Amino acid sequence: MSSPTSSLYQHLTHPLTQASTVPILLVLFLLVWFFFSYTDLSVARKLQDATGHYVQFAYSCFFKPHTGDGTGSQQDALESFYKSQAAIYDATRTTLLQGREDMLALVAAQVKHRQATGQSPQKPIWVDIGGGTGWNIEHMGTQIDVPNFFHAVYLVDLSTSLCEIASKRFERLGWKNVHVVCEDARVFRLSEYEAGVDDSVRDFSIGQSIYNEDARDVVGADLLTMSYSLSMIPEFHSAVDSVTNLLAPNGIVGVVDFYVQNGVEFSHRNYMGGAIDRHCMWISRVFWRTWFELDRVNLESSRRDYMEYKFGTILSTNRRARVVGFRIPYYIFVGCTRRTGTMLQEVAQQDAAVTESPFISALDLHSQTLNRRNRRSSSTERRSKAFDTAVVNLSASLPLPAAYYQNNKTRIYYDHSLPKHKQFNDEYIYAFTWEDSRTDARLLKITGDDVILAVTSAGDNILSYALERPKRIHAVDLNPAQNNLLELKVACFRTLEHEDMWKLFGEGKHPNFQKLLLEQLSPHLSSQAFDYWLHVGPKTFDPTGSGLYFTGGSRHALQLIAWLGSLLGVRTDMRRLCEAQTLAEQREIWTKRVRKVLLSQLLAYFVIGSERFLWKALGVPGEQRAMIEEDFKRGNNATPEIEKEKSSGTGQPGAVGAVKSGQAIWNYGVQTLDPVANDTLVSADNHYYLVCLLGHYTRRCHPDYLSPKSHAKLSAPTALDNLRIHTDELAEVFARMQPEALTIAVLMDSMDWFNPSGHEAESQVLAVNRALKIGGRVLIRSSGLSPWYMAVFEANGFSPKRVAARLPEGTCTDRVNMYASTWICTKVGQVAAEEFGGE
């Protein structure tokens, strides 16, 4: 007997060892006895089966050699991998193959939208490439009545073992319109299975370009899906080409699969639908590519890239599957045919010259052809950035930007990779709008002939203008996230009932946001907006969280108010302020308790007076802060006549010194809040401050767009088709519009942001002059009583008039009262073309 064996034998036969082993065995016996005594046998069997399934799955995926019969064919390779685990495939893939449910929800929403809008008048045909056991098709039953909605469903897979499971599944379900085809996806063609097609026209060219219309199968699929199958096809180029030719002209393709990619590879690609989380770290790229190649699953980025090249992008998103502590990258892609033969004409129609904007010419194309005498000379025609990009892409045989393939052309294409857009770090500053819509309506008197351009902000003001039914509205914001918020609100009007709308934007919370986003809102969102809200929306609207209005940069102000209220013991008083039934009651609560906190000089000096807080929480740049400080330095007791002769904001922020700066901010706060508390009833008629104190609106007090009456108006078909959302600087949008296209421009306080020593203000005023009709109006709010740039307006064809001012002290200009003055600048003269660079 060898020495180690002898030693082990002596240890086991030692009395002390035996004595200690008996209790251990007894404890194990008791645990097993208790487990089986108090556990349902069915649960025990399920646990045993699950353990067995995952052991078999681990062996098949990580240890079993996949050599097959030596033929080297793809079918043999698939059978080598799947035959031993076909029966347990569905039970072991739920955690690993994430995103399938989301992809199916997205394509179902797209197909249903096409049916509802008459784009697909016949019952659609669905082809599921690499459909395996048929799990996708059965799960689609949670979205669509598969047996009755689809004319036919074809599951195409090369694995005979998986196809057998699928056949048994649909036999059990009794779905007669589902057909299982064990065939290579590259040679599958619908015309061989769909009756009524002439045999003489059933030629099919594998791998031919989509640009050759004859390459298409004569019977196209209205829906085509690939779920974790593209990564398992070795010769993927020919497979994607065949799939491209299989899709009907108005069809939808949906793909979900693993991937890895470096950001350098797509950094200059303008036809993607979104790039949030698309970049994978180098260790993730190396590890997952190597790991999956053991099972002949290929994650190289060229597969996804080629799919995006062959189709137009409707929606695209990048996710991470969380499996046992790991994060595996996967993507979801929803696309359509590129329609290259007709897209140039569509681009030209959308960008035609004789409209108020080159972005929306398709809406007025018919009237243009009837009134050619109104055409301007080509010297006045301007092209949009979207048009320039489209021409470049078409000339290079690339897909158009995703904006061109959306169901609604509301959002105008922009390059999300530019630093000017990335500076906001995918966060909006304002979750609600600080502009009194009632005052706007009184000052502007909007009619059906007006064409309005306004800063987006949170979009509340844009929706208020839409209630007046103007001819057109252009919403402009440099921050993509602000436009994403407006897009979400517009999509909600197009598809949701009022109660869901109220939960989202009245209460700021919704228990089923992701479900609404996938199943109802997605067909009405641009790809960038959808990708954004899929990433941040569930947390933003989480019922257990703080809600929508405690997100974005403005959350810092709301959090500070709530924190100070709790710290100083006036949180209850703040809530009482929101419940006061009369102004007298409100004034008493404000004066005795709340004012001491919110208008604390200490708070103004050390928190609100800091430039960092002003910018991050309130969106106040240094130039605007200088206007506040300069007016304070002069004193606010001057008469309106004397004040007109002064100019606000010609100094530098902080020039008055730290102490004076804090005093200026404190005084500005006093002049803002005291009149509001004294003259407006927060609980019933001032939702601007109600949301700051409560973090949500009430059924009694809310923005106009949240009322049932407004919902009925804005949710009507075509009600918001007159809206276009631009993600760019105001000056850029003005400069690319046709001369005299606009009647109203609402610039909010954006002019306050310009430096008095720069040329940006004059350039923008000149651009506004060119874009406005004679008699057109510009609405401006300013933190200065007499902003310096009014002289610039007056020198360039405008007649400025101050229509409201916080003079004398204690004056309440509107329900917000945030700005020291409000101005209407009316265009009275045309500036010569050569003055702003010529045409």
Q: What is the pLDDT of residues 664-712, one digit of tens each?
A: 877 888 899 999 999 999 999 999 999 999 999 999 999 999 999 999 9
How many Cβ atoms sit within 10 Å of the Cβ of residue 395?
9
pLDDT beyond 50 at 838: no
Compute the CA torsion angle 703, 708, 710, 714 (nearest 10 deg).
120
User: In whole angstroms, what is the distance from residue 726 CA to residue 475 CA?
Assistant: 6
Q: Which residues is 464 bridged to in the sheet? A: none
Distance CA 606, CA 353 (A): 53
Using CB atoms within 10 Å of the CB of residue 560, give its burial: 0 to 12 exposed, 13 to 18 middle, 19+ buried: middle
pLDDT band (50, 70, 90) for residue 365 = very low
When pLDDT is averaged across residues 454-469 and rounded to a whole number, the result is 95
Average pLDDT of the segment spanning 275-295: 90
Q: Hey, what are 295's tokens?
A: 């099972």
Q: Whose CA is closest to 350, among 390, 313, 314, 402?
A: 390
Shared domain for 615 and 713, answered yes or no, is no
Tell me the percentage of the chain whose pLDDT exceeds 90.
50
Query: For residues 653 and 626, is the Cβ–Cβ distance under 8 A?
Result: yes
Q: Which is nearest to 779 in space by CA: 408, 308, 440?
A: 440
User: In terms of pLDDT, which residue wins out, 305 or 835?
Assistant: 305
Q: Angle between the 3-13 and 15-38 helix axes, to the nearest 10 degrees?
A: 70
Both structure tokens of 53: 């399934």
pLDDT exceeds cutoff 60 at 138? yes
Distance of CA 49 to the CA centre of its chain: 42
pLDDT for 831: 85
Verify that 171 and 195 share a domain, yes or no: yes
The residue among 441 and 161 whose pLDDT is bigger is: 441
What was the pLDDT predicted at 519? 97
- pLDDT attached to residue 383: 72
- Distance, in Å, from the CA atom of 766 to the CA atom of 832, rounded to the nearest integer, reads 10
Segment 565-582, tens digit of pLDDT: 888 788 899 999 999 999
| Confidence grade of residue 357 (pLDDT, cut at 50, 70, 90) | very low
Nearest one of 324, 384, 390, 321 to 355, comparing CA atoms:
384
Residue 616: what pLDDT? Answer: 46
CA distance 280 to 289: 11
Q: How confident is the model at residue 371 (pLDDT cuts 50, 70, 90)?
A: very low
pLDDT at 833: 55
User: 581 with 660, same domain?
Assistant: yes
Last residue in a domain, options 309, 338, 367 = 338
Which H helix or E strand runs over 394?
helix 385-395
Tally of structural domains, the chain: 4
Note if the bond before 800 is cis, omega within 30 degrees. Answer: no
Q: Give 2 or 125, the one with higher predicted confidence.
A: 125
Report the pLDDT value the prediction gives residue 746, as an integer from 0 to 100.
96
pLDDT digits (tens, 9 = 90+) for 390-423: 888 888 889 999 988 999 888 988 998 899 999 9
Residue 97 has pLDDT above 80, yes or no: yes
- What pLDDT does residue 628 have? 85
pLDDT of 381 above 70: no
As a whole number of angstroms, the distance between CA 217 and CA 197 comes to 11
Q: Select the more confidently predicted residue: 644 or 634.
A: 634
Other CB atoms within 10 Å distance of the CB of residue 147: 15
Q: Identify whether 2 is part of a domain.
A: no
User: Is 64 a residue whose pLDDT tops 70?
Assistant: no
Give mean pLDDT, residues 194-199. Answer: 55
Residue 89 in tokens:
């495939």
Confidence tier at 145 by pLDDT (50, 70, 90)? very high
Q: Is residue 419 part of a domain?
A: no
Q: Which domain holds residue 384?
A: 342-401
Q: Is the pLDDT of residue 169 over 60?
A: yes
**Co-location of 478 and 603 in the same domain:** no
CA 798 distance to own-chain centroid: 38
Query: What pLDDT was estimated at residue 361?
Result: 41
Checking if the pLDDT of 610 tops 90, the result is no
pLDDT the model gives residue 118: 86
The pair phi, psi for residue 249, each rounded to 5°, is: -55, -35
Provide the pLDDT confidence category of residue 185 given band limits of 50, 70 and 90: confident
Determine if residue 426 is left, alpha or beta; phi over 0 gives left, psi from -120 to 50 gives alpha, anything else beta. left
Predicted confidence at residue 664, as pLDDT, reads 80
Closest CA to 126 of 254, 317, 228: 254
Q: What integer is the mean pLDDT of 483-508? A: 97
Is residue 269 within 8 Å of 311, Cβ to Cβ? no
Whole-number Å distance between alpha carbons of 307 and 261: 14
Which of these three, 356, 382, 401, is where a domain ends?
401
Most confident of 176-185, 264-273, 375-384: 176-185
Of residues 17 and 240, more confidence is placed in 240
pLDDT tens digits for 719-772? 999 999 999 999 888 888 888 999 999 998 889 888 888 888 999 999 999 999
343-357, 586-600, 717-731, range with the lowest pLDDT: 343-357
- Sheet with 742-748: list strands edge to edge: 723-726, 472-476, 451-455, 742-748, 772-782, 821-827, 798-805
- pLDDT at res. 543: 96
Residue 481 sits in the same domain as residue 623: no
In a domain, 10, yes or no: no
The angle at the Cα of 391, spanning 390 to 397, to the nearest 5 degrees, equals 85
- Rounded to 5 degrees, φ, ψ at 725 are -110, 120
The sign one gets for the Cα dihedral 417, 420, 426, 428 is negative
808 upstream amide cis, omega within 30 of 0: yes
- Residue 627 CA, chain-centre distance (Å), reads 35
* Contact between residue 276 and residue 317 where contact means Cβ atoms under 8 Å apart: yes
Q: So what's the pLDDT on residue 497?
A: 97
3 state DSSP class of 146? helix
pLDDT value of position 377? 38
Same-domain status, 226 and 134: yes
Q: Between these two residues, 386 and 513, which has the higher pLDDT value?
A: 513
Query: Mean pLDDT over residues 243-270, rounded?
Result: 92
Q: Look at residues 288, 311, 338 and tell me which one is the last residue of a structural domain.
A: 338
What residues are paired with 647 via a beta bridge? none
**Cβ-based burial of 408 (10 A; exposed 0-12, middle 13-18, buried ≥19):** middle
What's the pLDDT at 340?
A: 63
Paired tokens of 290:
């190597």
Taking the mean position of all CA atoms in its chain, how far away is CA 518? 12
More confident residue, 40 or 112: 112
Please indicate, yes or no, if residue 429 is contained in any of the structural domains: no
Q: What is the DSSP letter of 297?
A: -
**Distance between CA atoms of residues 172 and 226, nearest Å:** 24
pLDDT at 718 over 80: yes
According to the model, what pLDDT value does residue 488 have? 98
DSSP states of 164-192: HHHHHHHHHHT-TTEEEEES-TTT--GGG
Question: Is 40 contained in some domain?
Answer: no
pLDDT of residue 660: 64
**Alpha carbon 825 to its chain's center:** 35
Q: Are residues 157 and 290 in the same domain?
A: yes
From the CB of residue 318, how many other CB atoms can be counted at a distance below 10 Å? 22
Query: Lowest-confidence range among 74-88, 241-255, 753-767?
Result: 74-88
Given CA atoms 233, 180, 144, 138 in this order, what sign does their dihedral have? negative
Give the three-class secondary structure for 202. coil
Q: What is the pLDDT of residue 208?
A: 39
Taking residues 163-186, what's their average pLDDT? 92
Q: List beta partners, residue 334.
A: 254, 315
State whether 186 and 268 are in the same domain: yes
Assess whether 388 and 447 both reside in one domain.
no
- CB neighbour class for 195 (10 Å; exposed up to 12, middle 13-18, buried from 19): exposed
Q: Is the pLDDT assigned to residue 778 strictly greater than 90?
A: yes
What is the length of the chain? 839
Evaluate whether residue 51 is within a structural domain: no
Q: Which CATH number goes with the domain that contains 258?
A: 3.40.50.150
d(CA 107, CA 318): 16
Is residue 654 domain-shared with residue 791, that is, in the same domain?
A: no
Beta-bridge partner residues of 328:
321
For the segment 70-76, the average pLDDT, to the nearest whole number, is 55
Residue 731 in domain: yes
Is the pLDDT at 325 greater than 50? The verdict is: yes
Distance CA 713, CA 270 (A): 36
Q: How confident is the model at residue 606 (pLDDT cuts 50, 70, 90)?
A: low
DSSP letters along 241-255, please?
A: HHHHHHEEEEEEEEE
The reply to whether 301 and 195 lie within a common domain is yes
Say what the pLDDT of residue 690 is.
95
Helix (H/G/I), strand (E/B), else coil: 335? strand
Mean pLDDT of the chain: 82
Query: How far apart, in Å, do the first and last CA atoms of the chain sit?
Result: 103
* 411 is a domain residue: no
pTM of the model: 0.84
Q: For residues 616 and 632, what is the distance between their CA atoms, to the nearest angstrom?
A: 23
pLDDT band at 19 (very low <50, low <70, confident <90, very high): low
Question: Are residues 330 and 354 located together in one domain of the fold?
Answer: no
